[in-house]
Structure 1
Amino acid sequence: GILIINPDNPTGAVYPEHILRDIVKIAEKNDLFIICDEVYQNMVYNGTKSVPLATIIGDKVPAISMRGVSKEMPWPGGRCGWIEVYNGHNDPMFEKYINSILNAKMVEVCSTTLPQLVLPQIKSHPKYQDYLHERIARYEKYSNIAYDILKDVKGVLVNRTNGAFYMSAAFEQGLLNNKQSLPIQNDEVRKTVEAMVSGPGVSPDKRFVYYLLGSTGVCVVPLSSFATSLQGFRITLLERNEQEFIKIFTTIAAAVKEYISSD
């Protein structure tokens, strides 16, 4: 099968319609099904448009769309999500797969009664769209602030976030090594970080992430943890205070420069 996350975590990318249609063609040609995570479907900005899989899947390729309330509202504690199945009867194995998912969930998961009762009231509330638009406008503004701060940092590749609330930055290939570091004032923290990055199999970007946390207190996620060969980091756009947000990304930019030049 083919997995799509649209809008994407961790990059914040939004797939254009022609790319999605090409993916459907690839799936049809190779007898594959598609799983599409669309939990951020309504959270796009910077002039982009999110195209639901349902509108372009056609009547041949079996597919699943996954949706939920955890990000848009946001209500992650509600544990409320659902799947939409397209062309489920077109392939016997896919149909068995869907039935196994449904049977497993009915055994493993309790009904999310409260979210199911509340969801229609929230979605139909006259202030809900204004609330959603305010959040999206803030993410759009912050995505551009973050991009403007990081785009000119030598050795870092970054794209503007256009959906969801994540941003990823990748280091140029071969730029990181196991000799780079950042100064950490607290001796106990420094020793802890040094111990964590000195073991076997520690990826170069994880080393940077630990030093960044120990030196500045800024927490990001290593990009290599998302099953990619790229070395970098992912960060969110969730900080609500604009001045604090600017401070965080300015700190990251300065730390990247210092880390790279420390070798």
Structure 2
Amino acid sequence: NQRGGAQITPNDIIFFNGLGDAISKIYGMLKRTARVVMPSPSYTTHSSAEAAHAGDRPVTYRLDPNNMWYPDLDDLEKRIKYNPAVVAILIINPDNPTGAVYPEEILRGMVALARRYDLFVICDEVYLNIVYNGFKTLPLSDIIGDVPAIAMRGLSKEMPWPGGRCGWIEVYNGHQSPIFEKYINSVLNAKMLEVCSTTLPQLVLPELFKHPQYHGYLQERIDRYERYSNIAYDCLNKVDGIMVNRTNGAFYLSIAFVPGRLNHEQTLPITNNEVRHKVEVLVNQCGISLDKRFVYYLLGSTGICTVPLTSFATDLDGIRITMLEREEEAFREIIETIARAIRDYLASAG
């Protein structure tokens, strides 16, 4: 409220047992015919929850790997304009899986589309305080104006607390639309059915955030992610056949293979016969995506585990890497090994 944007009361905040619980309720309380258009690539919990709610594939808008993974606003408007079932836009900022941080003009453009087409906005801001490389962004509350919206916040990314499940939503302009107000009430009523409470994390949160060591702890992590993002970008950007953007928020890096560079003949050497046999069985499954094939070979050959980008509601082949390794030299070695593996894999078959 002190920032001067959207104004809320305690009644506009609903706590959940982690944001996974919040995501389940937010999509689950929509009418089955209502769709939320979401980014592609997209965090799997969102895309899976929306698809499960609708009984259909997610409706997505494009994040552009040739433009820092920013949303393609023209594509987003087309997805809205020609799909009357869309009732909301999902924004993930900073983004998972790409690590993109959206500038103010992008966010304002997305809110403008929501206003123009009478939609509400869902904004996952769980990484909002993990931004670096000189980039800046804004919370949705600063720019939402009179558009109905839900901002999603949580504890686990800033302060890992195993077992301390606590996420919450902030509802903006909850009384602006009778339909939106009824929808939010259905989310609240669904929570009222539960007997478990997030009382302990709620009691701890204020003490945690005002603790004199907290901001130093968080800044140490942010500084480390910034170093790692530059180590990874400087190394991987030299590799032919992939599209790489510098990560500027959260702690993920997504690499996309240039279309046409992967095929089903490429391999990496695997010295352990048992592991090689297992990988060969996996990669020969019917319908396996080309990036998942690479992920299996990378794991079998180097022991490095990544996630195929096609797991994130996209047709782009690629991988997502996390930057959570604490030892810098170990992280550098991991990135250099991935870079060598990509070169070797792409060269193994034309």
Q: TM-score, normalised by structure 2?
A: 0.73
Instruction: Determine the structure 2 residue equivalent to 1:56.
Output: 143
Instruction: Determine the structure 2 residue equivalent to 1:122.
Output: 208
Question: How far off its partner does 1:50 sit?
Answer: 2.3
State the AA in 1 paired with 2:102: Y
Query: Would you say 1:133 and 2:219 are equivalent positions?
Result: yes
Instruction: Determine the structure 1 residue equivalent to 2:35.
Output: none
Query: How do 1:212-231 residues align onto structure 2 when only pairs under 5 Å count?
Result: 212-231=298-317
Report SS of the residue matched to 1:77.
coil
Structure 2 counterpart of 1:159, from 245, 263, 268 = 245
Instruction: Determine the structure 2 residue equivalent to 1:171.
Output: 257
Query: Would you say 1:35 and 2:122 are equivalent positions?
Result: yes
Query: How do 1:1-263 residues align onto structure 2 when only pairs under 5 Å count?
Result: 1-59=88-146, 61-75=147-161, 77-108=163-194, 110-263=196-349
State the AA in 1 paired with 2:232: A
Alignment CA distance shift 1:104-1:53 (3 Å):
same
Whole-angstrom CA distance in 2 between matches of 1:214 and 1:251: 13
Whole-angstrom CA distance in 2 between matches of 1:62 and 1:198: 48
Whole-angstrom CA distance in 1 between matches of 2:174 and 2:200: 29
State the AA in 1 paired with 2:187: I
Question: How far off its partner does 1:107 sit?
Answer: 2.1
Question: How far off its partner does 1:106 sit?
Answer: 2.7
Spell out, residue by residue over 1:4-60, the C-alpha distance to the aligned partner (whole angstroms, 9 max, x if none): 00000001000000110010110111111110000001000000112000000002x
Contact 1:149 1:253 in 2 (8 A): yes
Gaps of 5+ in 2: 1-87
Contact 1:150 1:249 in 2 (8 A): yes
> Identity over the aligned pairs, expressed in percent?
69
Question: How far off its partner does 1:75 sit?
Answer: 2.5
Q: Report the count of equivalent residues.
A: 262
Alignment CA distance shift 1:108-1:199 (3 Å):
farther
Contact 1:43 1:136 in 2 (8 A): yes
Q: TM-score, normalised by structure 1?
A: 0.97
Contact 1:69 1:76 in 2 (8 A): no
Alignment CA distance shift 1:177-1:108 (3 Å):
farther
Question: How far off its partner does 1:113 sit?
Answer: 2.0
Runs ≥4 residues deviating over 4 A: none
Question: How far off its partner does 1:116 sit?
Answer: 1.3
State the AA in 2 paired with 1:260: L
Spell out, residue by residue over 1:200-236, the C-alpha distance to the aligned partner (whole angstroms, 9 max, x if none): 1211000000110011000000000000111100011
Contact 1:70 1:77 in 2 (8 A): no
State the AA in 2 paired with 1:29: R
Alignment CA distance shift 1:187-1:167 (3 Å):
same
Moved more, 12-21 or 100-109: 100-109
State the AA in 1 paired with 2:308: P
Whole-angstrom CA distance in 1 between matches of 2:194 and 2:254: 34
Whole-angstrom CA distance in 2 between matches of 1:208 and 1:75: 33
